[in-house]
Structure 1
Amino acid sequence: MTFSLVARCPDTGMFGVAISSSSPAVAARCSYARSGVGAVATQNVTDPSLGPLTLDLMGQGLGAEKAIAQVQARGKFIEYRQVLAVDYEGRTAIHSGPNSLGIWTQAMAENVASGGNLLANDTVPQAIVDGYLAAEGHIGDRLIAAMRAGLAAGGEAGPVHSAGMMIVDKVSWPVADLRCDWTDDCPIENIATAWDIYKPQLDAYVQRALDPREAPSYGVPGDD
């Protein structure tokens, strides 16, 4: 009921996660990223604890493959879970349990990994990976392009209703965390619209947190 990708930008060191599902509020349960460490998606009969666990393991110096091996050894009911990881060097790894739902599959390359379950067909994750690698620009633009490519390849077997995109950079909080928790329209396009609005303001929001004296104006009535 979900397809997603985790990715690293080799030029900036940013990490990102993008995800969509027929279930409500998928990003709230499934998307995890940490500056300087990596990004993780945990899905398919989701255990949200596996996201922070994987990040903690990578933060301790384990690469994605070794971190996922630890998750496989320590996770409960791991045969029902899918966990995707990309680490600080762009290495990727995926666990897909044999009890993943419906048509499920995965695809990996340097700096990007994708997986899904209850898919329309088994080409969707590879289309997502290819879409990410073919896109240019900001990691947010590339994440959107990848999700659109997955949707164009068939996406989920049924309609998707929620989506999210999280990006981390050099600070301890996500510099972008955009969500569509439920819609009967396309949630990926809702996220894309939000990104088009948010992207030009992203750096200003970070600057306001770091030093509001040097930040641009807020653009509200009464702000000089």
Structure 2
Amino acid sequence: MTFSLIGRCARTGQIGAAVTTSSIAVGSRVPFCAAGVGAVLTQHRTDPGLGPRGLDLLRSGCGAEAAVAALVASTPHHAWRQIAVMDAAGRTAHFDGAKVKPERGAAHGEGVVAIGNILASDRVPGAMAAAFLAAPGLPLAVRLLRGLEAGEAAGGEHGAVSSASLMVVWREAFPYVDLRVDKAEAPLPALRALWEDYAPLADGFLARAREPEGAPVI
């Protein structure tokens, strides 16, 4: 009942993830990102512990494929898990457990991986990846949002979604963008509205952390 994607901007080195689902507060459980390290998605019968574990594997020197293999080997319940990983170089890998319900699938492209389960159509992951790849000059956050919106337009999941999140990491230990709609009748339009409000302020918040003297008043 979830569809999501990880993306990387080759120009800036930003990495991020966007996700939506029918349950509450998806942003607290599925996406995990670290600047200069990579990103992990853990969903279906979600185990949030796989997110930090996957980032630790990437920090230790594992690439995306090795990190996914180690995550699968680390849990006796891997049949229930759907996982995607991107490493700092933009390489991607994913895993669908045998008990992950259909429609399920994944799509990979240059600097993007999209996954989903209990989907209305098997076209959803490909639509997300294609939308992301179609706009290489836009900010990463916008490309990720476009990916989610394309997934919904391709059928989304079987039921209505009710929460969504957008995260981008860049240079710092804290996220550059971390926006969540924890419960709403239309979470994707609400998430886009949040981003449009936040976008003009994002660099100012970063400046306040780095050089508070002279930073903009927000």
Q: TM-score range by the shorter chain?
A: over 0.9
Correspondence for 1:114: 114
Cα distance in structure 1, aligned partners of 2:177 and 2:108: 24
Q: Does 1:182 align with 2:189?
A: no
Write the letter of the residue equivalent to 1:200. Answer: P
Is 1:39 paired with 2:39?
A: yes
Query: Could you say what the CA RMSD is over the residues aligned between the two structures, in angstroms?
Result: 0.8
Contact 2:110 2:133 in 1 (8 A): no
Q: Distance in 2 between matches of 1:198 and 1:206?
A: 12
Distance between the aligned counterparts of 1:65 and 1:102, measured in 2? 23
Residue deviations 1:126-156, cap 9 Å, x none? 1000010002310001011111111110001
Q: Which amino acid aligns with 1:161?
A: S
Q: Can you list the C-alpha shifts for 1:92-139, whole angstroms capped at 9, x where unaligned?
A: 000111111231111111211011111001010010000100023100
**Structure 2 counterpart of 1:5:** 5
Matches within 5 A, 1:126-205: 126-135=126-135, 136-184=137-185, 186-205=186-205
Match of 1:221 in 2: none
Partner SS for 1:212: coil
Letter in 2 for 1:162: S
Distance 1:75 1:130 in 2: 32
Please name the residue that 2:64 is paired with: 64
- The residue number in structure 2 matching 1:54 is 54
Opposite residue 99 of structure 1, the aligned amino acid is: K
Bigger radius of gyration, 1 or 2?
Answer: 1
Aligned equivalents of 1:9 and 1:207: distance in 2?
21
CA distance in 2, matches of 1:82, 1:74: 14
Q: Count the aligned residue pairs.
A: 217
Q: Between 96-105 and 165-174, report the one with greater CA deviation.
A: 96-105
TM-score, with length taken from structure 1? 0.95
What's the % identity of the aligned pairs? 42
Secondary structure of the residue that 1:115 maps to in structure 2? strand
How far did residue 216 of structure 1 move? Answer: 1.1
Letter in 2 for 1:181: D
Shift of 1:209: 1.1
1:55, distance to aligned residue in structure 2 (A): 0.7
Where 1:189 maps in the other structure, the secondary structure is helix
Inter-partner Cα distance in structure 2 for 1:98 and 1:105: 12
| Structure 1 gap ranges (5+) | 219-224
The corresponding residue for 1:102 is 102
Structure 2, gaps ≥5 residues long: none
AA aligned opposite 1:56: D
CA distance in 1, matches of 2:2, 2:177: 21
Give the secondary-structure state (helix, strand or coil) at the position aligned to 1:82. Answer: strand
Question: Where do 4+ consecutive residues of structure 1 move more than 3 Å?
Answer: none
SS in 1 for 2:213: helix
In 2, Cα distance between equivalents of 1:59 and 1:214 = 35
Does residue 210 of the first structure (1) align with residue 214 of the second (2)? no
